[in-house]
A and B are shown apart, each in its own frame.
Chain A
Amino acid sequence: MKDELYTDIVKEENLVYKKTSLMTDNILSYCPGCGHGTAHRIIMEIIDEFGIQKDTIGIAPVGCSVLAYDFMNIDMQQAAHGRAPAVATGIKRTWPKKIVFTYQGDGDLAAIGTAETIHTCNRGENFLIVFINNGIYGMTGGQMAPTTLPGMKSSTCPYGRDVDMMGHPLKIAELVALLPGTHLVSRQAVHTPAAVRKTKNIIKKAFEYQLKAKTGTCFVEIVSNCNSGWKMTPVQANKWMEENMFPYFPLGDIKIEGKLVQ
């Protein structure tokens, strides 16, 4: 009976979900429960669905996702910490028909690379920025990020972020939405199937824009967990994220087709 069930499940016609061939078979370097893997998969599925592997170039700067090129089966460039939008600009300006995206963490995009982020969006560079906001520096072991919440603990604010001394968490998505160069700005998550579906739809839209015409910069923030850095189990981390991160970084579209969502 058991064997029968198994042979039935593996039949092609019963297939309900398959890993996209655009994800390699390399073992993910991410902590179990981390949102990075899901975000990777969404992007690769979209590239697969559009059939644009041969035209897509991704940029992974420094952060936990520095090895994204080990997992994404497309041409990729590793970039210096914070410089991915400049690297992407160099590629897109000289290969305007290629599909280009960056995949950046909060330290990368909203601290060391703030100037590159703002000016890329201000010039309306025609590519997609995927921004993983986990409120912490994951790769270097859990230091304070520009998006660390007030009172939240990290190894460089072990008594909690004191906003008087350390500044406030930076809502960079709202900031870039104010620039005429951005076409789409949205903040999403990947911790539930419903959130994954929404994120996939919006990233898909961003790829569609880039495929169709020169519209401007698309900026999709994914509020994600860092269970290791936050020192929680994956389940705790997702719950904490919903209760603490989402109120400060509310999910939803911020700018659609160049117009701010009221």
Chain B
Amino acid sequence: MGELKLMKGNEAIAEAAIRAGVDAYFGYPITPQSEVIEYLALQKPHETTGMVVLQAESELASINMIYGAAGAGKKVMTSSSGPGISLMMEGLSYIAGAELPCVVVNVVRGGPGLGTIQPAQSDYFQATKGGGHGDYSMIVLAPASVQEMSDFVPLGFDLAFKYRNPVFILSDGLIGQMMEKVELFDFVPRWTEQEIIEKNPWATTGKTPGRERNIITSLYLDPGIQEKHNEKLQAKYRKMKKEEVRFEKIQCDDAEYLIVAYGSSARIAQKSILLAREKGIKVGLFRPITLFPFPFNEIKKMANQVKGILSLELSAGQMVEDIKMAVNEKIKVEHFGRMGGIIHSPAEALEALEQKIIGE
């Protein structure tokens, strides 16, 4: 059993970065995730693991620092929230285009604009449907506990390097700020320079006589070559869709109705399904863990079993569109969610299920 600690979600992410052998964190403060960089600054990991921690002048700069270091084969990550993540979209598009591995965390707050510093899940579209320009996708992991905030950091890096692709951790202000017990994983040593060169033969580590020069770019002026590059990226995303779908099913075996929820809403829905069962309504919870790739097939299968689905999100209804696509009008699918930093209660969610799905 690993070391047990009571931690905030944001602190767990930071501690996990040190333990996962991350080479550098570049970031810029923004609520509700400033604890990530503050925790790292306090821990001084450059004195222990050698990890670099640098506060950049903006999120534009931090994501481009990530681009540079990732292009040179290093394990690097950053974190931010809405306004900062929007600034990073240019860089993320370049990172996806140049096929660089990295982990980016969004501790979502309510928007649009400066919005609120309270929790929300309104950046689902931005995370899963592109956000930046061009045809690209990122693996999006949605932690629903402080434990997963920690566990998804090494998982994120495994996936990022496996696919040479950015991995996004879509958290929210609730998971980031709440404190829970975490079982910390053991320290993984940072890669040595030799290991980096061996594991990432594509990286700009300096051209040695034995190999061609390595170039990190997303520029293909010849439309034919650009299309080929796009096809290569699409093939990679198809592979992700086949191999990386992750989800959790709670009390789904006998369920007649289903709540689909991720992250903090999944935690709330866990209570809602208990309340429902006390009333004799058999409700299950389906929790997508990867929002990209989205568990389309598994939700489609559930549509053969249940009579209706409620998508519960702290937003105006974004994931609900993917659920509807999976279900393809076979059964009723509705959205419920509070916005602007207000968090729905388990009873409210159940009431919405009763009214919108079971009611008629």
| Chain A interface residues toward B at CB < 8 A | 53-57, 59, 66-67, 69, 73-80, 83, 86-91, 93-95, 98, 115-116, 119
Contact = CB atoms under 8 A, between A and B. Distances in A.
Interface string B205-216: 111110001111
Interface in B287-342: none
A229 B62 CA distance: 33
Contacts of B208: 54
B26 to A, nearest CB: 7
B161 interface: no
A87 B209 contact: no
B52 A86 contact: no
B67 interface: yes
Contacts of B52: 93-94
A56 B72 CA distance: 11
Of the listed residues A67, A73, A75, A115, the one surrounded by the most CB atoms of chain B closer than 10 A to its CB is: A75
Interface of B: 23-24, 26, 52, 54, 56-58, 60-62, 64-72, 74, 76, 90-91, 94, 98, 193, 204-209, 213-219
A83 B69 CA distance: 13
B290 to A, nearest CB: 27
Given A74-B213, A78-B216, A86 B90 contact: no
B217 A77 contact: yes
Contacts of B64: 79-80, 83, 86-87, 90, 116
Nearest to A76: B215
Nearest to B90: A80
Contacts of B209: 54
Contacts, number: 131
Contact of A94 (B24, B206, B219): B24
A73 B207 contact: yes
Q: B interface, by DSSP: helix, strand, loop or mixed? A: mixed
Given A77-B204, A94-B24, A86 B60 contact: yes
B68 A89 contact: yes
Contact of A90 (B68, B193, B217): B68
Q: A interface, by DSSP: helix, strand, loop or mixed? A: helix
Given A54-B207, A98-B206, A83 B60 contact: yes
18 contacts: A56-B206, A57-B204, A74-B206, A74-B207, A75-B215, A76-B215, A77-B67, A78-B215, A86-B56, A86-B65, A87-B65, A87-B68, A89-B61, A90-B24, A91-B69, A91-B72, A95-B193, A115-B60
Contacts of B66: 90
A90 B76 CA distance: 9
B300 to A, nearest CB: 39
Nearest to A73: B213
Contacts of B58: 115
A110 to B, nearest CB: 16
A94 B24 CA distance: 7
Contact of A78 (B23, B70, B218): B218
Contacts of B90: 80
Contact of A75 (B69, B91, B214): B214
A76 B214 CA distance: 6
A83 B61 contact: yes
Contact of B68 (A53, A55, A77): A77
> Can you list the 10 inter-chain pairs with the closest CB atoms, starting with the nearest?
A90-B68, A86-B64, A90-B65, A87-B68, A90-B69, A78-B217, A75-B204, A119-B57, A83-B64, A77-B216
